[in-house]
Amino acid sequence: MDLPQNPFKRALQAASVPVGTWHTLGSTAVVEALGHAGFDFLVLDMEHGQIDLPQTVELLRVMAGTRAAPVVRLPWNDMVAVKRVLDAGAQTVMLPFIQNADEARAAVAYTRYPPEGVRGVASIYRGGGYGLIPDYCQHAAGELCVILQIETLEALEQLEEIAAVPGVDSIFIGPADLSASMGYLGHADHPAVREKLALGARECRRLGKPCGIIGFSTEAAVDYLSYGYSWIAVSTDVTMMLRCAAQTLATVRASAAPSANTGARDDRSAPHQHRSG
C-alpha cells in the first residue's frame, strides 16, 4: 500500500487556486454531496462546528470517494488533537489562533515524528494504512500540509516571522476574528479590515507563502481573490442551505400570494345548496 498523495498540498505547489467551502454540520451525506459538487476542498470544522473525532474519521472516509480534499480545522493548537487527527488519516490540518513564531514552531512540531518533532509514533492506525504503508513514519511528513490561522492584528504584524517557520505550508487569515480584534466585531467588510486583509495577501505573496481566506459571500470571495489570495473557501454548508431555502420560499410565496380578485367567489365552482320542499 502506497502513502496517499495530498491533492490539496499539490494544488498549492502547482500555484492553482483551490476553491472550497466550510463543513459544520458533521453529516456524511452533506459531505458526500458537497464532495461531488465540484469543490476542490472542504474544511471540516472541529473548532466551531459540532464535529468530534469519531465523526471526523467517518467524514474522511466518505470524502475519500469524492474529488474534494479534506482540510481538518482543529479545535486548538494542541499536540494531542493534532496527533489524533493525523492518526485518523488527515493530511491537511489547520491550526487556529497562531499568534507568533514560537506557536508556529510548536504547531509544526506536533505534526512531525522525532527527531524533527514530537508526534507520538503509531503507524497501525488509519493514517498509516493500518500498518500496511511501508516506512510510513519516515515519509508521512512529505504529504502533510500545515496551515496556520492568523486571526488578530497582533499576529498579522508578525506574519513574516510566522510564515518563515520551516514546515509551515500555508497561512489562513480569518476575516471575522481579525475584524473583532480591530474593534469591528461583525463587520469584516469594514474598509479598515479590508485594508488589512489585502495587506496580508500582499505580504504572503512577497514571502512566497500560499495564503487562504473564507469569503462569507460570493462577492466577498471574488474581492479577496483580487487581493491575491492563493486559495479560498466560499460560504459554509449551513449558510448555503439556509440562503437557498430563503430564496426558494420567497419566490414560491410571492407566486402563491392571493391576487386582488381572488376574494370574489366564482358561483360556478360554488357547491349547490339543496332545499327541501
pLDDT 10s digits, 202-251: 999 999 999 999 999 999 999 999 999 999 999 999 999 999 999 999 99
Locate the domains of the chain by residue range.
Answer: 7-245
pLDDT at residue 273, as a whole number: 46
Q: Has residue 274 got a pLDDT over 50?
A: no
Q: What is the pLDDT of residues 235-245, one digit of tens each?
A: 999 999 999 99
| Residue 172 CB burial class (10 angstroms; 0-12, 13-18, ≥19) | buried
Alpha-carbon span 176 to 107, nearest angstrom: 22
Helices (H), 50-185: 53-63, 79-87, 101-111, 136-139, 153-157, 159-163, 175-181
pLDDT in the model for residue 275: 40
Decide if 231 contacts 237 (C-beta within 8 A).
Answer: no
Residue 261 reports pLDDT greater than 90: no
Write b or e for each residue in 195-222: b if 16 or more Cβ atoms lie within 10 A of its Cβ, otherwise e. Answer: ebbbebbebbeeeebbbbbbbbeeebbe
| CA 261 vs CA 252, 253, 264: distances in Å | 19, 17, 6
pTM score? 0.92
% pLDDT > 90, the chain: 91
Residue with the bigger pLDDT between 265 and 98: it is: 98
Q: Give the pLDDT band of residue 259 (cuts 50, 70, 90).
A: low
Which positions are annotated as active-site residues? 48
Which residues are CB-neighbours of 257 under 8 A, at least 6 positions away?
none
pLDDT over 50 (residue 1): yes
212 near 169, Cβ under 8 Å? no
**Can you list the alpha helix ranges (DSSP code H) found in the chain?**
7-13, 28-36, 53-63, 79-87, 101-111, 136-139, 153-157, 159-163, 175-181, 191-207, 218-227, 237-256
When the pLDDT of each residue in the chain is averaged and rounded to a whole number, the result is: 94
The answer on pLDDT for 8 being more than 90 is: yes
Residue pLDDT, tens place only, 180-193: 999 999 999 999 99
Task: Collect all residues with Cβ–Cβ distance below 8 Å to 37 and sequence separation of at least 6.
Answer: none
Residues in the chain: 277
CATH number of 7-245: 3.20.20.60
pLDDT above 80 (res 9):
yes
